[in-house]
Amino acid sequence: MRATRTGSLLLGASVALALIAADTKCSRAAVVESAANGFAIEQIAHIAAPPDRVYAALLDPAKWWSPRHTFSGSSANLTLDAKAGGCFCEKLPNGGSVQHLFVADLDPGKTLRLRGALGPFQSQGVDGALTFTLKANAGGTDLMLDNIVGGFIKGGFGKWPALADQMLAEQLTRLKRYLETGSPEAGTK
């Protein structure tokens, strides 16, 4: 079962790369640092919505997170309990569940920081901090995503920083689309 999940996540990351290459809505996405024991990603997008609205959407990942990057195959199974220690969790069939991340810091309209290991990193000896910082700008919001992951991974980090960057860029693009068009899917109005 785990191999299938990892394979699905890798396939999703490959599809995400193609989507991101065709969709230039994110102003910048990059692995800014990579080492044998971890990596750092920074992504920035300008969203035509006020910070409070962007922040509220961040707290409701079921509306914009890609189903390709879930264990259940459905974004509707995602929840985020907006309090320190709260869970970014996913319901699984047969009463199962996954804690993707937990809330470390909330400053409504300004900052959301989550800790833990996403997707295939959960089976490795790694931890991460995923921070969203919001700033009002030009009638909308500049949203900065920082993801820092470190620890030990079997076989080394190798391709993982680029795959994580692609996956997170897809999520940021979907969030932007959702807020600006009402749907996270490309080509919808």
Q: Please write the tens of the pLDDT for every residue from 128-168.
A: 999 999 999 999 999 999 999 999 999 999 999 999 999 99
The pTM of this model reads 0.85
Q: Please write the tens of the pLDDT for every residue from 109-124.
A: 999 999 999 999 999 9
Alpha-carbon dihedral of residues 81, 113, 53, 77, nearest 10 degrees?
-40
Q: What residue ranges define each of the domains in the chain, with the CATH number in brackets? A: 2-181 (3.30.530.20)
* Confidence at residue 20, expressed as pLDDT on a 0 to 100 scale: 38
* Confidence at residue 187, expressed as pLDDT on a 0 to 100 scale: 81
* Confidence at residue 26, expressed as pLDDT on a 0 to 100 scale: 53
Pairing of strands 87-91, 97-107: antiparallel
Over residues 59-79, mean pLDDT: 97
Over residues 75-79, mean pLDDT: 98
Q: How many CA atoms lie within 13 A of 99 on its CB side?
A: 11
Report the sign of the C-alpha dihedral through residues 102, 115, 90, 152, in that order.
negative
* Confidence at residue 29, expressed as pLDDT on a 0 to 100 scale: 75
**CA nearest neighbour of 119 among 84, 78, 83, 174:** 78
Confidence bin at 7 (pLDDT 50/70/90): very low
